[in-house]
Amino acid sequence: MNDIAELRQFIVGHLRAQSIPDERYAALLARIRTDEDGTPGSWARELTEEGDRLAAREKYLEACQFYTMARFPYPDGAARRTAQDRGLAAFDAWRRTAPVPISPLDVPMPEGRVRCWTTGLAADRPRPLLIFLGGIVSTKEQWAPLLGQIAALGMAGLVTELPGVGENTLPYDADSWTMLPRLIDAVGPAADTAATYVVALSFSGHLALRAAPEDSRIKGIVGAGTPVLDFFTDTAWQRKLPRITADTLARLTRTPVDLLPDLLPGWALTTTHLQAVRAATGHVTSRRDEIVPYADAQLLRRHLRGLRTVEHDDVHGSPRHLTETRLWTFLTLLRMRGVHGPERTALHRALLEERSRKRAQEAAA
């Protein structure tokens, strides 16, 4: 059972990332009293019922968003498993009328199956590939609506999950980075995989950086809140982690929480490894990140050649700067690819306008 205050605290960034306005969920979250599995007034039940109301009105994407909230941070009982299943069904209904064609892709691997949502895969017109990965608590359905923006960049898109999250049945361990090369293999001639880029949020950034020196097809990585070294080795920091983070890591790695300090040091990326990364890199850093130590972002700046960075005075995921982060991420991808033209000009203008808006907002506060 999760702490309700923590659930409310950490869900906000995910809601804002999906452009759900505060007034749409504030009253609903306020009336939730417990995290008991499926009982009246509980997290999963209240949010699932809101998803049901939206699905009944055929507002499938909004319904999916509330079902995804209901399964947060992971399915730990029947109510959250039901929410996840309904979220998948709602997204499937929405994507059939989405602005761009979105298709499922199942990639079997020896350890399990990786399920993806894709757009723009075509052997007769292979485009550069963008793989989008969320963190340890976010499903591919949260990010798959971005496939429309990915297509607008002239890229084929593939959105999936970290091992153990959502429909990804692979184990989450120190070798999970091998998932990325195998996904690239699976896409094959349907995309220009020799020009593969990865947007990798939070823990998936660690996976992408681990894979990059082993696979030269990965030409660029944009991460945000990436754990690198200190997160995995600093036991004092680990003891201060939010309970949701520790419990989720324990579940995904199939390791008791109190044994995580014994497991995690083997995952750390050394300076030698970072210096071996040849892919272009970008990183969004939150200076008040309560999950990933600031020292890890400093390590990236020292050892990744040509790293593009942006910093926010914010907590993990920079929930107060999500529009700016999204614009900066897509603009950085175009810069990595050396793409010029109206799309890049429009993104740059929108980024400047958003930064100006934020400065004005902060000055008025």
Give pLDDT tens digits for 194-203: 999 999 999 9
Q: Which of 185, 141, 138, 132 is nearest to 159 (CA)?
A: 132
For the sheet containing 156-160, what is the strand order?
A: 103-109, 112-119, 156-160, 128-133, 192-201, 218-224, 280-286, 308-312
Contact (Cβ atoms closer than 8 angstroms) between residue 180 and residue 203: no
What pLDDT was estimated at residue 2? 86
Looking at domain 103-364, its CATH superfamily turns out to be: Alpha/Beta hydrolase fold, catalytic domain (3.40.50.1820)
Q: What is the DSSP string of 268-289?
A: PPPHHHHHT--SEEEEEEETT-
Mapping DSSP to helix (H, G, I), strand (E, B) and coil, where does residue 172 land?
coil
Burial class (CB in 10 A: 0-12, 13-18, 19+), 110: exposed
Give pLDDT tens digits for 150-196: 999 999 999 999 999 999 999 999 999 999 999 999 999 999 999 99
Residues of the chain with pLDDT under 50: none
Considering the entire predicted model, what is its pTM? 0.95
Domain ranges of the chain: 4-95, 103-364
